[in-house]
Amino acid sequence: MLVNKKIISRFSQYREVLLKFQEMGLSKIFSNVLGDAVGVTSAQVRKDFSLHGISGNKRGGYQIEDLLHELRSILGKDKVHHVVVVGIGNLGRALIQYTGFDKEGIQIVAGFDIDPAKVNKRNRIPVYHLDELNKYVCENQIQIGVLAVPDAAAQSVCNIMVDSDIKGILNFAQIRLIAPEDVVINSVFLQMELENVIYFVNAMENKCTRCRSS
């Protein structure tokens, strides 16, 4: 099995665009149109599909429905995935309050925090004390967790999650988590993403100045 993060990201994007096209009433699509919509070349689109055994019709493009069906299964959209969020601070709260995941088969089912003040079992999405994580995860067979605790606590909370048999973690703490080989860790470093923008804005500016002066 190919384990290439970038191709999966593209698949996610293809899917999103295809859903929109489908909503607009279209039933087929060409690689160049899809590529344009996602920002990649048509060859990239065809190769991505080809490598995953997805084929279209010469001259007729791809059937959107077929593509969506394949992407559904590749991306694991054929079942609902239950997710817990650990750390109900600024970010954790934003995530559990966001309602857009549901329609994508991602259901945030519970939050956990170490602060008793954050606990509230009557929320739309209940928030429990961290101590209950292990039990909850085992009983409900949760495989995916979001980690949104302060950096200093992140590794220890990660360990707890791993011990509870969570198999995939989306991490927002600005540290590199250590976890067993069979646990998937995907970290989003928000500060770094912002720094990236700043860097390129600076770089652009310098380039332009140089251009003007030359």
Ligand X SMILES: NC(=O)c1ccc[n+]([C@@H]2O[C@H](COP(=O)([O-])OP(=O)(O)OC[C@H]3O[C@@H](n4cnc5c(N)ncnc54)[C@H](O)[C@@H]3O)[C@@H](O)[C@H]2O)c1
Partner DNA sequence: ACGTTTTTGTGATTTTAATCACATTTAAAA
Partner DNA sequence: TTTTAAATGTGATTAAAATCACAAAAACGT
- Applying CB under 6 A, does 107 fall inside the site for ligand X? no
Helix axes 5-23, 64-74, angle to 10 degrees: 140
What is the Rg, in whole angstroms, of the alpha carbon atoms belonging to the chain?
Answer: 21
Task: Give the span between the Cα atoms of 4 and 161, in whole angstroms.
Answer: 25
45 contacts ligand X (rule: CB under 6 A): no
Measured between alpha carbons, how far is 85 from 77 in angstroms, rounded to an integer? 20
Kindly state whether residue 5 participates in binding a copy of itself, applying the rule CB under 8 A.
yes
- The length of the chain in residues reads 214
CB 68 within 8 A of CB 29: no
- C-alpha to C-alpha distance for 3 and 56, rounded to whole angstroms: 23
Residue 101 binding a copy of itself, by CB under 8 A? yes
User: Is residue 63 near a copy of itself by the rule CB under 8 A?
Assistant: no
Helix/strand/coil for 113: strand
| Cβ atoms of 82 and 107 closer than 8 Å | yes
CB of 188 to a copy of itself, least distance (A): 5
Which residues between 29 and 68 bind DNA (CB under 7 A)?
30-32, 40-44, 46-47, 49-50, 55-62
- Measured from the CB atom, the residue of 75 and 153 that comes closer to DNA is 75
80 binds a copy of itself (CB under 8 A): no
Nearer to ligand X, 56 or 145 (CB): 145
Amino acid at 152: A
Complex with ligand X: residue 66 or 132, whichever CB lies closer: 132
Is 27 near a copy of itself (CB under 8 A)? no
| 50 forms part of the interface with ligand X (CB under 6 A) | no
CA–CA distance, 49 with 93 (Å, rounded to integer)? 37
Q: Hey, what's the torsion of the CAs at 194, 151, 110, 98, to 10 degrees?
A: -10
Neighbouring-strand partners of residue 29? 62
Tell me the closest approach of the beta carbon of residue 57 to a copy of itself, in angstroms.
27
Residues making contact with DNA (CB under 7 A): 4, 6-7, 30-32, 40-44, 46-47, 49-50, 55-62
Residues lying near a copy of itself in the complex (CB under 8 A) are found at: 1, 3, 5, 8-9, 12-13, 16, 37-39, 74-76, 81, 83, 90-91, 93-95, 97-98, 100-101, 104, 106, 143-144, 146, 167-170, 174, 176, 182, 184, 186, 188-208
